Structure 1
Amino acid sequence: MTIRIDLFLRSLSLPLVSVVRSLQLDELEYVHRGRIEEGRQLFIVQIDETADVPQCALAEVDEVAEATALGQAGGKEIYKCIVDLDDLFQRMYDANLDGAPLEPPVVRPDGWYETKIFKNYSTLSEFQSVCRENNIEVELHSITSGHAGSEDSPAYGLTERQHEALTLALSRGYYESPRRTSTEALADELDISQPSMSDLLRRAEHQILSSTLGSQTRVEMPSS
C-alpha cells in the first residue's frame, strides 16, 4: 500500500530556499532531481519568466555551484542548477527516506510544499523523524492511503499497473543519476519479467509526457 501526502517542510536550510530568498521570488518549482556526486545534487528548476532572473544571479547564490539556462516553456524559464548539499540532505536522498514526488515540488521563502508518495507509514515516520532531528518542521496537510489520482484512478491517465511500476521506480532511485537500482531488481519486486517492467515504465513515461506536455508543446532554446 502506498500513501499520498500533501505536506509542507518548513526550514530555511532546505536546498533552493536560499535561491528563492536571495532572488526575492515568490516561489520556484523543480521538475527533476538527481545526484551528481557525493554532496552535490542536480535540480532542474522552473521560474516564472516575469521574474526576469538572469543566469548569473542564480550562480551567485552561495549554495549553487553551477547554473545553466535551458530554455523556456509554458511561461517558465528553465534552469539546470547544481547545488551543494550538507550531510542531512545527502542522507535523506541516499537512504530512500524521501518519498517520490507526484507533482513538481514548490520551493517558497520558508520551505517546500510537496505532494509525495511514500511506500508505507513506516517510511513516512522515518522521514518525519529525520526532519525533526534536523529542525525541519513537517506540516501534514492531507494523507490518502492507496493509489494517487482523482477518485479511484491514478493521475495523468496511467493504468494502476503503470502507476505502481512508476512509483516503485521513483522510490527506489531508478531515475536518479547514477541509478540506484535496475529494471531487473524492480521486476523482482513486482514479480514480473524484466522486459515487462521496462515496457511498463516506457508506457508510463510516454503517458505522463503526453498528458503534461501535449503533442504541440515546443521548448524554446536560448540562442547561441
Structure 2
Amino acid sequence: MTVTAELLVSSPSLPFVSFAESLPSNQLECEHGLCHGGDSRVFVVHLDPADGVTEDDLIALDEVVGTTPLGREGDRDVYQLDVKLEDIVSEAFVPGRFAKAQIEPTTIIPGGWYEKKIFQNYESFNNMRNHCDEHGIRIDLISITQDSLSQDEHSQYGLTDRQYEALALAISHGYYDNPRQATAGDLAEEMGISQPSMSNLLRRGERQLITSTIGTQPSLTNPST
C-alpha cells in the first residue's frame, strides 16, 4: 500500500517563502533534493517572467549563495540556485529516514511550501510529520489518499473494507496520537457516517486486529503452583 499526501509545509526557516510574498504572482515553483538528502543545497526555480525577477534579484537573497541561469522552459525562466539552508531544515529532512518521494514540483507561496508526496504507508507519513514538528516545521495535511488495496493487505487480519478504511483514516489524522489530533466525530464527518457508527467501526476493527495478531491464548499457569 502507498498513500499520496498533499501538504503545506511551513516554517520561517524555509527558503524563498518571504521571496514569494514579494512577487506579484505570490508564488514560484522549484525542484529540490531534500527528499533525498537533508543537506541538498541545489534548487531549480521556475519564475514567471511577468514577475520581473532578474539574476541580480536572486543573488541578493540571503539564502542564495550562487546562481546559474538555465534559460526558459515553456513560459518560465529557470535558474539553478545554490542555497544556504538553516540547520533545522537540514535536520528535519534527514536523508533516507522516511520512505517517501516528491511527485510534483514544490509550489512556494507566502504561507509555505505546497508539496505532493507519495509515502510507503500511513505510518511513514505520520513519522515524517512528527519528526518535522520536533524541528519546528509544521506540516498541514490538505488531503491524503491511498492506492487501490489488494485483499491480502487487510483480509489477512479479518478486517472488513470499512473497518480498514476507518482505521487507516484514524491513523492518518492522528486519532491515535498522544495528544489526540482528531476526534471520532471528525473522522465520522469525513466518512459521511454518524459518530456512533464511526466509534463502532474503530472498536470492531481494533478488536479484530488484536484478536488476529494475539489470538485467544490459553491462560498461563502460575509458576509458583
Give the structure-2-normalised TM-score.
Answer: 0.58
State whether residues 38 and 94 of structure 2, in contact with CA within 8 Å, keep that contact through their aligned partners in structure 1.
no
> Which SS does the other structure have where 1:15 is aligned?
coil
Q: Distance in 2 between matches of 1:24 and 1:97?
A: 36
**Structure 1 contact 39–84 (Cα < 8 Å) conserved:** no
Which residue of the partner structure matches residue 141 of structure 1? 142
Q: What is the CA distance between 1:71 and its match in structure 2?
A: 0.5
Q: Distance in 2 between matches of 1:103 and 1:40?
A: 18
Give per-residue Cα distances to partners, 1:47-92, cap 9 Å, x unaligned: 1111110001101111111112110121101010111112222231
Q: CA deviation at 1:28?
A: 0.7
Task: Report % sequence identity.
Answer: 34
- Counterpart CA distance in 2 for 1:98 and 1:66 is 31
**Counterpart mapping for 1:62-101 below 5 A:** 62-91=62-91, 92-97=93-98, 99-101=100-102
Could you list the per-position Cα deviations for residues 70-116 of structure 1 after superposition, in whole angstroms to 9, with x for gaps in the alignment?
Answer: 10121101010111112222231424337311111101112011111
Displacement of 1:122: 2.0
**Alpha-carbon distance in structure 2 between the residues aligned to 1:128 and 1:15:** 19
Contact 2:13–2:89 under 8 Å retained in 1: no
Aligned-partner Cα distance in 2 for 1:86–1:98:
23
Instruction: Give the secondary structure class of the aligned counterpart of 2:41.
Output: strand
Would the aligned equivalents of 1:33 and 1:43 in 2 still touch at CA under 8 Å?
yes
Q: Is the 8 A contact 2:99 2:120 kept in 1?
A: no
Aligned to 2:111: 110
Query: What one-letter code is carried by the residue in structure 2 that aligns with 1:131?
Result: C
Whether the 8 Å CA contact 1:39–1:86 is kept in 2: the answer is no
Cα 1:24–1:63 change in 2 (3 A) is farther
Deviation at 1:23, TM superposition (A): 5.1
- Flag the structure with larger Rg: 2
| Residue 43, structure 1, aligned to residue 32, structure 2 | no
Q: Which runs of 5+ in 1 are unaligned?
A: 148-224
Compared with structure 1, are the counterparts of its residues 105 and 98 closer, same or farther at alpha carbon in structure 2 (3 Å cutoff)? farther
Structure 1 CA distance, aligned partners of 2:7 and 2:68? 29
Aligned length: 147
My pick for the range that moved more, 87-96 or 124-133, is 87-96
Match status 1:121 vs 2:122: yes
- Deviation per CA, 1:168-217: give whole Å up to 9, x if none: xxxxxxxxxxxxxxxxxxxxxxxxxxxxxxxxxxxxxxxxxxxxxxxxxx
- Report whether the alignment pairs 1:26 with 2:16: no
TM-score, L = length of structure 1 = 0.58
Partners of 2:127 and 2:102 lie apart in 1 by 17
Q: Any stretches of 5+ residues in structure 2 without a counterpart?
A: 149-225
Secondary structure, counterpart of 2:116 in structure 1:
strand
Asked if the contact 1:34/1:42 (under 8 Å) is kept, the reply is no
Q: Which amino acid is 1:29 matched to?
A: E
2:106 touches 2:115 (CA, 8 Å); kept in 1? yes
Alpha-carbon distance in 2 for matches of 1:25, 1:80: 20
Take 1:125 and 1:60, find their aligned partners in 2: how far apart are those partners? 37
8 A Cα contact 2:7 2:140, kept in partner: yes
- Aligned Cα root-mean-square deviation (Å): 2.6
